[in-house]
Amino acid sequence: MLCPDLHSLTLLFLQMKLTSQNHTTVTEFVLMGFSNIPKFQSFLFATFLVIYMMIRMGNSLIILITKTNRSLHTPMYFFLRNLSFLEVGYTSVTLPRMLANLWTQSRTNPFLACATQMYFFLMFGVAECFLLAVMAYDRYVAICNPLQHSIIMDDKACLQMAAGSWIGGIPVQMGQTYQIFSLPFCESNKLNHFFCDVPPVLELACGGTAMNELSVHAEALLFVTAPFLLILVSYIQIISTILELPSKTGKHKAFSTCSSHLIVVTSFFGSAIITYLRPKSSHSANVDKFLSLFYIIVTPILNSMIYSLRNKEMTVARKKLLSQLF
């Protein structure tokens, strides 16, 4: 659960702003968001506020339950606790700003604030890709090599994998954000999105963006597609092993455990791969907005609902906690 020093990050972006000042007249961006449907601003604010509170409460409950219940002190729930903590941070980077814009109708976002939002959004996104891959590997070891699971996935290995997931993308995403906001922005400052994502910001750049687009695709292949392929290989092995189990009860339990993770993986990676790997010519503002809702809203709320409601161990632990509190 590590993040770069905020003071150092601020100094970096201030330096970036000063060095690019001679090439740009843009000092702030205007997040157009859902301005094309003015009659629904109040409805959207209420809807997204409820969703944000559900995400915060659901994932916070998972963190509390897996931390306080000793029977859940296993690698699977350790990584789930990390994922829930990550989801809270991930949504907090984007949703509060979107809610403020909907409530006040003031859509301006300063240059530095936009750069900072993009950096933390990318950092949390990469961490989630790695963490979902680590969770798939844990399920692979638990099902395909159960006798060695406690040895392979000991406390030290789990801590190293979690730390690697959190800090793995920090240097690269800092460089990526620096490169994007070093571009000249000299025409429009109207960002046709509800947060500072990579594709809509690149569309506003008036210089050559071919190298930046190539860099985005390369990083998407490294940080999104590669973990997804590792997850895919893990689940091919897992499903093959499950189908060989003699007991129907064992098959059902194994499939139940893995299906929750697969639903979260599909919604997150599917939308992220389409957003960042399709060519610029096929980008559409409305499609980008729709897809981004999947990885900033749908996946976090699915995570909290699936693991809270469908997981029997979590259900028992939740009832035990509530009985102790009340």
Helices (H), the chain: 6-19, 41-68, 75-104, 111-144, 149-152, 155-167, 170-181, 198-204, 210-220, 226-243, 248-277, 285-293, 299-305, 312-325
Q: What pLDDT is recorded for position 289? A: 82
Whether 190 shows a pLDDT value over 70: the answer reads yes
What would the DSSP string read from start to end of 175-209? HHHHHHHTS---S--EESSSS--HHHHHHH--S--
Residue 290 covered by a domain: yes
Pair of tokens at residue 184: 């000249």
User: Quick one: tokens of 316?
Assistant: 């028992």
pTM: 0.85
Here the CATH number for the domain that contains residue 140 is 1.20.1070.10
What is the number of domains present in the chain?
1
The Cα-based distances of 101 to 30, 33, 79, 166, 211 in angstroms read 10, 8, 34, 29, 32
| 63-115 pLDDT per residue, tens | 998 888 888 899 989 999 999 999 999 899 999 999 988 898 888 888 899 99
Tell me, yes or no, whether 178 lies in a domain.
Answer: yes
Residue 1 lies in a domain: no
What pLDDT, on the 0 to 100 scale, is given for residue 268? 84
Pairing of strands 190-191, 28-31: parallel
Containing structural domain, residue 131: 6-325
Q: What is the DSSP string of 252-307?
A: HHHHHHHHHHHHHHHHHHHHHHHHHHS-GGG--HHHHHHHHHIIIIIHHHHHHHII
pLDDT in tens, 284-295: 777 778 888 888
